[in-house]
Amino acid sequence: MNEPSATQESRRRLQNALAHRGGALPLDFDGTAVSGVHVSCVAGLRRHYGLEPRPVAVHEPYQMLGRIDEDLKQVLGIDVEGVYPPRTMFGFANADWKEWRMPDGLVVLVPGDFRTTTDAEGNTYIYPEGDLSVPPSAKMPAGGCFFDSIIRQEPIEEENLNPGDNLEEFQPISEEDLAYFRQAARDAVRTGRGVIANFGGTALGDIALVPAPFLKHPKGIRDVAEWYMATRSRTDFVHRIFDRQCEIVLGNLSRIHAEVGDAVDAVFLCGTDFGTQNSSFCSVDSFRGLYMPYYRRINDWIHGNTAWKTFKHTCGSVDRLLPSLIESGFDIFNPVQCSAARMDPEHLVSAYGRDLVFWGGCVDTQKTLPFGTPEQVREEVLRRCEILSKSGGLVFNSIHNLQARTPVGNIVAMLEAFREFNR
Amino acid sequence: MVDTAKLYDAVLNGDHKTSAAITDAAIAENLDPQEMVTKFMIPAMDEVGRRFENEEYFVPELLLAARAMKASLDKLRPLLAARGAEPTGKVVIGTVKGDLHDIGKNLVSAMLEGGGFEITDLGADVTPEKFVAAVEKTGATLVCLSALLTVTMPAMKTTIEAFVKAGLRERIKIIIGGAPVTQQFADDIGADAYGASASSAVAIARKLVAA
């Protein structure tokens, strides 16, 4: 790995954006698992920029996000450094790297405990903690690019539902993990970039986490549809989970803050999606009754005890929920899905630009980036940056991760347009 | 005597235990299963769809209503079949090859079933060959294709091409949907319609069947 660039300019850029002070836009890619880049695109960018040919490490194997190494970060001019949780979505650490061949033939690096099997149809199965003796927790279809959870739902006995079963993954942080975060935050701040950390355990009912692909034998409600229904039909049960989760989380955050302090600028709190393409997943009343009290507890503690800004990811059409998200105490909104209903960027800036930092939204990843021309990408990036930067708080990122098979020429066009705007 | 009108409320309110109990009682009293479907169940699911469109109902309410509807319909289906009742139409539905996401597809499937259609749900990651085989087997005239990922959208085109190759394209109407899918994409790949939401899919399906 190359030596990091020692300048603090990157961190200042991020801090300016987080404080709505405007100025040059900071660039994030790979800072979080919702602002990352598919491994195939990272490989394509390395080739495009003539960097040392080597397999790219997959450090978020669920979505197959590629790690952007220091040499590529410097070429791209990335301003944000991510601190990831100590273990991946499949419950193993990013350690003991080994080569693995993607279904399309691309050779990548994966952690040593990334253990898979393949069936006769070419589907790939991955195992929690790399334990081949238990059922697989996710599947990548033949020819696919990502994993998706396999639902492992034990029969639900309504009268015996125990919130503790859905809390197995939320535990007081270990000394080992504290040491991990202390070191990771130190390494991150040394780069001179702004730092965003995901300490884990803070997401309330994130549907990607409900099936618990990291657990060997998940109990409780783990089926996606059952969970969604539970948010209406078993609200007492969900309240008890969130309440206990909050207690655990606040204890953990207190201990983590004592270790990492102000090395961290922002914390990724929650990736629960509240929006669909055309609407929201729940009513405003449901959000305020079921989620907001717990979000407020977490945000209030963070704002009362740290200098961290808090990051909320939710895809989709969430215009009607944004006032409640602001009231919940969130500072940063991602991925700013302008392509969803009622998410026009000019409206978002005028309605919420004083209260929320927009982290993303700078180019559409459903149409323009994968299917448009480089010129269409450039035009959209320049237009979005012009509009969203009026808030004084814009972190450059696409709408969600750069997806597999996005043409590298379009990614490069996006990056060049970003630089053009920043000049 | 069972108050079958309460089936409407049970489905609308997502109360699967009540919908099942009413259905059991109605069957015991030898009531007309077709009437239960057409008088209470379909109107209830239509109202669910209307509330979803108006953002009074959301995904959880839709799932609960669908479960309540199925709790009743699963009991009525054998009786309907025995009486030779004809569905509104026959549908083959699935998420296309390479895509494992099925929430949206399941919602569409449930709404169509609640709208009186006979559903063959092939699940997720469905090959074009499986879609073709299912249409050949069931005689379905409607095919619904779902995709959530941009990388799997091309599989919708491949599936339509498979129907052309099998000589079935003229016999069926194809509706596509999913978060990244648009009307433009539907036009580009030669689909017959684009469904922007679970409830709109029912209206589109009825229109296509009537055409």
The CATH architecture annotation of domain B90-210 reads 3-Layer(aba) Sandwich (3.40)
Residue A148: its chain B contacts at CB < 8 A? 100-101
Q: For chain A, give the percent of residues with pLDDT over 90.
A: 98
Cβ neighbors of B203 (< 8 A, separation 6 or more) are none
The A-side interface with B (CB below 8 A) comprises: 123, 139, 141-146, 148, 224-225, 228-229, 231-233, 276-283, 286, 320, 365-367, 370-371, 403-405
Mean pLDDT score of chain A? 96
The nearest alpha carbon in chain B to A148 belongs to: B100
Assess whether pLDDT exceeds 60 at residue A275.
yes
Residue B61: its chain A contacts at CB < 8 A? 232
Q: Are strands A148-149 and A138-140 parallel, antiparallel or unpaired?
A: antiparallel
Token pair belonging to B193: 């319609």
Phi–psi pair at B29, nearest 5 degrees:
-90, 5
Residue B180: its chain A contacts at CB < 8 A? 366-367
- Can you give the pLDDT at residue A120? 97
The amino acid at A229: M
Q: What is the mean pLDDT of residues A59-68?
A: 97
- Can you give the pLDDT at residue B55? 93
Q: Closest approach of chain A CAs to the CA of B50, in angstroms?
A: 14
Q: Are B51 and B57 in contact (CB under 8 A)?
A: yes
Phi–psi pair at A117, nearest 5 degrees:
-130, 160
Q: What is the mean pLDDT of residues A136-151?
A: 96
Q: Is B103 on the interface with A (CB under 8 A)?
A: yes
Out of B14, B106, B196, name the one closest to residue A233 (CB): B14
Which whole-number Å values give the CA distances from B115 to A212, B53, B163, in the listed order?
34, 15, 25
- Can you give the pLDDT at residue A1? 42
Domain ranges of chain A: 9-36+77-86+153-422
Q: Which residues face B143 on adjacent strands?
A: B92, B174
The amino acid at B184: Q
Q: Closest approach of chain A CAs to the CA of B204, in angstroms?
A: 17
The 10s digit of each residue's pLDDT in A166-210 is 999 999 999 999 999 999 999 999 999 999 999 999 999 999 999
Q: Closest approach of chain B CAs to the CA of A118, in angstroms?
A: 15
The nearest alpha carbon in chain B to A285 belongs to: B56
Which of B67, B99, B100 to probe by mutation at the A interface, max A CB count within 10 Å?
Answer: B100
Q: At the topology level of CATH, where does A9-36+77-86+153-422 sit? A: TIM Barrel (3.20.20)
Assess whether pLDDT exceeds 60 at residue A4.
no
Query: Do residue B106 and residue A225 have CB atoms under 8 angstroms apart?
Result: yes
Q: Closest approach of chain B CAs to the CA of A98, in angstroms?
A: 26
The nearest alpha carbon in chain A to B16 belongs to: A233
Cβ neighbors of B77 (< 8 A, separation 6 or more) are none
Query: Do residue B55 and residue A283 have CB atoms under 8 angstroms apart?
Result: yes
Spell out a b/e string for B125-162, using b for 16 or more CB atoms within 10 Å of the CB, else e: bbbbebbbebbeeeebbbbbbbbbbbbbbebbbbbbeb
- Can you give the pLDDT at residue A7? 67
Query: Do residue A146 and residue B58 have CB atoms under 8 angstroms apart?
Result: no
Residue B60: its chain A contacts at CB < 8 A? 228-229, 231-233, 281-282, 286
- Can you give the pLDDT at residue A2? 44
Which residue's structure tokens are 């954006």?
A: A17
Which residue's structure tokens are 């989709």?
A: A316
List, run by run, the mean pLDDT of 10-residue segments along chain B (211 residues).
92 97 96 93 93 94 96 94 90 95 92 94 96 98 95 96 97 95 96 91 92 81
Residue A229: its chain B contacts at CB < 8 A? 14, 60, 63-64, 67
The 10s digit of each residue's pLDDT in A365-400 is 999 999 999 999 999 999 999 999 999 999 999 999
Nearest-angstrom CA–CA distance, A271 and A313: 5
Confidence band of A5 (pLDDT split at 50, 70, 90): low
Residue B142, H or E segment = strand B142-146
Nearest-angstrom CA–CA distance, B211 and A102: 46
Q: Do domains B5-82 and B90-210 have the same CATH topology?
A: no
Q: Is B13 on the interface with A (CB under 8 A)?
A: no
pTM of the complete model beyond 0.80: yes
Q: Is B59 on the interface with A (CB under 8 A)?
A: yes
- Can you give the pLDDT at residue A6? 44
The 10s digit of each residue's pLDDT in A212-245 is 999 999 999 999 999 999 999 999 999 999 999 9
Out of B59, B100, B197, name the one closest to residue A141 (CB): B100
Q: Are A205 and A228 in contact (CB under 8 A)?
A: no
Spell out a b/e string for A204-228, using b for 16 or more CB atoms within 10 Å of the CB, else e: bbebbbbbbbbbeebbbbbbbbbbb
Q: Which residues face A96 on adjacent strands?
A: none
- Can you give the pLDDT at residue A376? 98
Out of A141, A232, A405, name the one closest to residue B60 (CB): A232
- Can you give the pLDDT at residue B4? 86
The CATH code of the domain at B5-82 is: 1.10.1240.10
H helical segments located in B83-197: 103-114, 128-138, 154-165, 183-189
The nearest alpha carbon in chain A to B177 belongs to: A277
Domain ranges of chain B: 5-82, 90-210
Query: Do residue B150 and residue A233 have CB atoms under 8 angstroms apart?
Result: no
Confidence band of A332 (pLDDT split at 50, 70, 90): very high
Out of B52, B63, B151, name the one closest to residue A229 (CB): B63
Query: Do residue A232 and residue B14 have CB atoms under 8 angstroms apart?
Result: yes
Which residue's structure tokens are 């998706």?
A: A148
Query: Do residue B151 and residue A404 have CB atoms under 8 angstroms apart?
Result: yes
Q: At what angle do helices B59-82 and B103-114 cross, to 10 degrees?
A: 50
The three-class DSSP label of residue B68 is helix
Out of B14, B98, B103, name the one closest to residue A144 (CB): B98
Q: How many helices (H) and strands (E) does chain A have?
A: 13, 15
Q: Is B180 on the interface with A (CB under 8 A)?
A: yes
